Amino acid sequence: MPILADSIPLTEQENPRTQQISSLSTADIVRLMNDEDAGVAKAVAEVLGDVASAVDQIVKRMQRGGRLFYIGTGTSGRLGVLDASECPPTFGVSPDLVQAVIAGGYDACYRAVEASEDDAAAGARDLEQRGFTKADALVGIAASGRTPYTVGAVEHARRIGALTIAITSVPGSEIVNAAEISIVPLVGPEVIAGSTRLKAGTAQKLILNMLSTATMIRLGYVTGNRMTNVQTRNVKLRARAIRILQSESELDEQQAQTVLDAADGKLPVALVMSQSGRSKEDAEAALDRARGVIAKAIDSLKSG
């Protein structure tokens, strides 16, 4: 007896447009995949209001000293780890500010640990081990919306009063019911039935990009569209920092290099020094008071 499509989640249903994909040429396979992917951005566009609401609530938590946590299993968990790991080098924030929890631990980033996703209590335990509190925000990522590990973590977080956000591709799923804010891009059945690393994973990546980037912009860790808090850990990033310093402070290349050296290679300190005319020590103290927000640090020194 055939299984009715309505009885299984969208993420597990067979895609009628790709039923013959195994018999296609390579060129036709990749063209068909690209056609399917073209709908992902449109699906995300339909939920931008929910993404914006999530960002605004995350910002409020962080302004009161809270942190942002991602939690998930498999591809969803790995995407959370990827986004969280990019925040310190991009925005110059502490690794503690945006954290990712993945079922099975970080070993699951490079090898499958599927069984760990079935433990509904494990997500809550993993959050507790990280010191997660009601002051924090949790984004539960689950393509199917029914992963016990992730749903259990979101339910726990909401019980203790933390902000809870769900990213899923299945409306009305368990994680939607568990979370305060739900972001549900309807990407439809996958090219390969059930392989949610494809369209659902792409949608998750787009949304996570928005959540972290928009949050950091709202918190003041970006100036214009420049990564003014970037960490100069290699030659490429130092060159980028010098260009930013030149543009922001109207310095020539040699002057920018001199100021960056005087700031021990720390771009935010160099920017505050060059635009306030104050010492490295004054700039560092002002940045500490401003929680790393360059514009606030500069204003405080100019008015002080």
Domain membership flag for residue 180 = yes
Domain membership flag for residue 31 = no
Q: What does pLDDT average to over the chain?
A: 92
CATH number, residue 95 = 3.40.50.10490
Domain membership flag for residue 29 = no
pLDDT tens track for 45-84:
999 999 999 999 999 999 999 999 999 999 999 999 999 9
Specify the DSSP element, H or E, that contains 21.
Answer: none
CATH number, residue 281 = 1.10.8.1080
Top-confidence residue, 291 or 46: 46
User: In which band, very low, low, confident or very high, does the pLDDT at 209 lie, cut at 50, 70 and 90?
Assistant: very high
**Domain's final residue, options 173, 195, 219:** 219
Residues 299 and 186 in one domain: no
pLDDT tens track for 220-270:
999 999 999 988 889 999 999 999 999 999 999 999 999 999 999 999 999
Domain membership flag for residue 202 = yes
**Domain's final residue, options 219, 244, 277:** 219
Strands 98-102 and 181-183: unpaired
CB 90 within 8 A of CB 240: no
Any idea which residue has 């899923």 for tokens?
168
**Domain's final residue, options 173, 190, 219:** 219
Residues 69 and 130 in one domain: yes
Residues 187 and 280 in one domain: no
* CA dihedral (94, 49, 33, 151) positive or negative: positive
CB 173 within 8 A of CB 148: no
| pLDDT average, residue stretch 273-302 | 93
Cα(first)–Cα(last) distance of the chain, in Å?
Answer: 77
Domain membership flag for residue 225 = no
Residues 59 and 175 in one domain: yes
Task: Report the candidate in 286, 289, 266 with the shortest Cα–Cα distance to residue 278.
Answer: 286
| pLDDT average, residue stretch 36-45 | 97
Q: Write down the pTM of the prediction.
A: 0.90
pLDDT tens track for 137-185:
999 999 999 999 999 999 999 999 999 999 999 999 999 999 999 999 9
pLDDT of residue 3: 39
Catalytic machinery residues: 86, 117
Domain span at residue 164 reads: 43-219
Residues 58 and 183 in one domain: yes
Residue 196 pLDDT > 50: yes
Residues 138 and 244 in one domain: no
Domain membership flag for residue 18 = no
pLDDT above 90 covers a percentage of the chain that reads 83
Q: How many domains would you assign to the chain?
A: 2
pLDDT tens track for 211-222:
999 999 999 999
Distance of alpha carbon 262 from alpha carbon 101, whole angstroms: 38
User: In which band, very low, low, confident or very high, does the pLDDT at 2 lie, cut at 50, 70 and 90?
Assistant: very low
Residues 109 and 172 in one domain: yes
Domain membership flag for residue 169 = yes
CB 273 within 8 A of CB 262: yes
User: In which band, very low, low, confident or very high, does the pLDDT at 1 lie, cut at 50, 70 and 90?
Assistant: very low
